[in-house]
Structure 1
């Protein structure tokens, strides 16, 4: 029996809700981590502030805390705990190095956030060094991103969710429907096979990796094809995450419009968060809320796709036990959204201002750290050679065309709904 087999495993989304709640409860109970110093302008600053004994102690405390939380996540999701304990320290150290680089005066002058450096550092190591499989197996990108998103809920007022969420839902319905059908049409024109067509259409129009995974599950797709589509999503998200905020700044788009544009067109939740962070607080909130609006549609989309696939592609499988049911909607629903909304409700209506003020700095620091850990992991597990070594480039062309259409349509809708 495999050493990482665990009969008490939970789905990752439920694990994220539990871990996010645990971090919040510990903070409200008085377990507050000091915020480390990353800012420096000279070599003397680097030595006296960032690498001071006091700051190194804070790094150590922070490491033990996230090691415990992420270790519990590894245990609950059935990952090999021994491998995790061996590999996670390396991910943490790389992330801290990236955040220290981002804290330099030069990086701040360029308005570059830590997640960009953690992603870049991960990409350099992941593409120039051969990483062992046991190390790759402990990387938990989605887990780290979603814990950060649950914590983000503590800083988003619920009235903002209701206000922007209704507009975000309208945008999502228009974007998902139009982009999905356009992507499907392009794939058919380029003669991309049916499984990849469904995965690309969902990934571009809904929410990237999660949608591709949900669609593959709904149609029982080939894991190799799923891996290829996920590679497309991750690689195209990187330049979009960096350049879309630059384009928005150049044309002076309002933050709300920019946030809606980012949230509606960038395919991965983590990349949406990173790009929103580059623009500003308002853009980050709106982009996250709009992305959540699309995430909410994931269950409905997976159900519709499973119905379509069962009745059109596999007519022989129309037995009662093979037919999709409403249970699929709940199974595909992104549970971490529940944690985000619960955290927002708690901090919006049930906690006094004094309690919120005490934990705000610590939770914001942890939120940023989880996002940075996620992007280090994305860099480490993304290999450009895997994508471009494929002989058939048609899925790549289809994905890029559909993504271009997505960017333009979403921007137009964002201006119509969010420009005030």
Structure 2
């Protein structure tokens, strides 16, 4: 955000901040409900009851940036030793289920529901990697139509809303450990925001593991975008010059992940004083709170009602399958 853009975004940032403070006060003084879920709920209420004012839209739309900054700061609290000890197993689960999800969604979309091939590819990328961001990343390479992109985005947003509410409830009913819940939600939920929200709604440790696991999926966004671009370029013509270069791969890479890794490495080396670590912890907690108010404003019930049935059934079948298998794998690996 540049200095010149500051006057445009400040009103919306104030809306996010007021929503975050209100969620915090309601959670601690009145309702006793997790404040992150309350923040999402307040955002949903604002978007669907009165609508986000036009003057607030530029600032509210920055919510993903605050989430990314919060994830970077969270690196100071990650138990790096524990992560390294389970790293190979976690990486294997992430890569394995990402590949499985891509293939499963493509097959179900084409062979079972016979929806358009490009729409199936958008759904596959959106579910297996990181939701709307992945849909946008692969849309140009897939050469998808505007209505196909809209259907895919609406479908993903619907499942973001459903899983955000359902996962913490299911986790508590099954009495899952913090690590199991974090890994399970990080592997099988869709978008980064809901994953982080659900994880921290369960517990602090679950939130950290959910975030780390989800970041492991996110880093493949560029690779998958390139693969889809190459596939459709070769299929539609003999000219492969449209294949994405290393530069386009870097453009799709979620660079905030590098910030997270850097902060975690510095903190694990003992180079950050405990008082500063505590300050960073409070910082990322408030950044998450503000970001989730904005996340809630992206859930528009009116648009979700317009989602076609077939894309919804494709993602539902994939979610149930991947969720069940990844829960079993997480229990076997970390239970």
Fold match by TM threshold 0.5: yes
Cα distance, 1:131 vs structure 2: 2.9
Deviations 1:126-181 (A, max 9, x none): 10113344533432232111111001101113333323332221011211111211
**Cα–Cα, structure 1 residues 226 and 369, in superposed 2: closer, same or farther, change >3 Å?**
farther
Separation of aligned partners in 2, 1:140 and 1:378: 10
For residue 290 of structure 1, the aligned residue among 183, 207, 213 is 213
SS in 1 for 2:2: helix
For residue 388 of structure 1, the aligned residue among 305, 318, 327 is 305
Separation of aligned partners in 2, 1:319 and 1:173: 27
For residue 289 of structure 2, the aligned residue among 351, 355, 372 is 372
Equivalent pairs counted in the alignment come to 333
Cα distance, 1:81 vs structure 2: 3.4
SS in 1 for 2:51: coil
Matched, 1:99 2:16: no
**Cα–Cα, structure 1 residues 378 and 329, in superposed 2: closer, same or farther, change >3 Å?**
same
Separation of aligned partners in 2, 1:214 and 1:394: 22
Question: Which residue in 1 is equivalent to 2:258?
Answer: 338
SS in 2 for 1:366: helix
**Cα–Cα, structure 1 residues 224 and 144, in superposed 2: closer, same or farther, change >3 Å?**
farther
User: Contact 2:122/2:152 (CA < 8 Å) preserved in 1?
Assistant: yes
Question: Which residue in 2 is equivalent to 1:48?
Answer: none
Separation of aligned partners in 2, 1:290 and 1:218: 26
Matched, 1:135 2:56: yes
Give the 5 Å matches for 1:267-278: 267-278=190-201
Is the radius of gyration larger for structure 1 or structure 2? 1
For the aligned residue pairs, the C-alpha RMSD in angstroms reads 2.1
Deviations 1:377-410 (A, max 9, x none): 12223211112135x3221222222222221121
Separation of aligned partners in 2, 1:211 and 1:121: 26
TM-score scaled by structure 2? 0.91
Give the 5 Å matches for 1:28-67: none
For residue 230 of structure 1, the aligned residue among 153, 175, 180 is 153
Separation of aligned partners in 1, 2:293 and 2:25: 14
**Cα–Cα, structure 1 residues 310 and 169, in superposed 2: closer, same or farther, change >3 Å?**
same
**Cα–Cα, structure 1 residues 99 and 235, in superposed 2: closer, same or farther, change >3 Å?**
farther
Runs of at least 5 residues in structure 2 that lack an aligned partner in the other structure: none
Matched, 1:120 2:41: yes
Runs of at least 5 residues in structure 1 that lack an aligned partner in the other structure: 1-73
Separation of aligned partners in 2, 1:233 and 1:160: 32
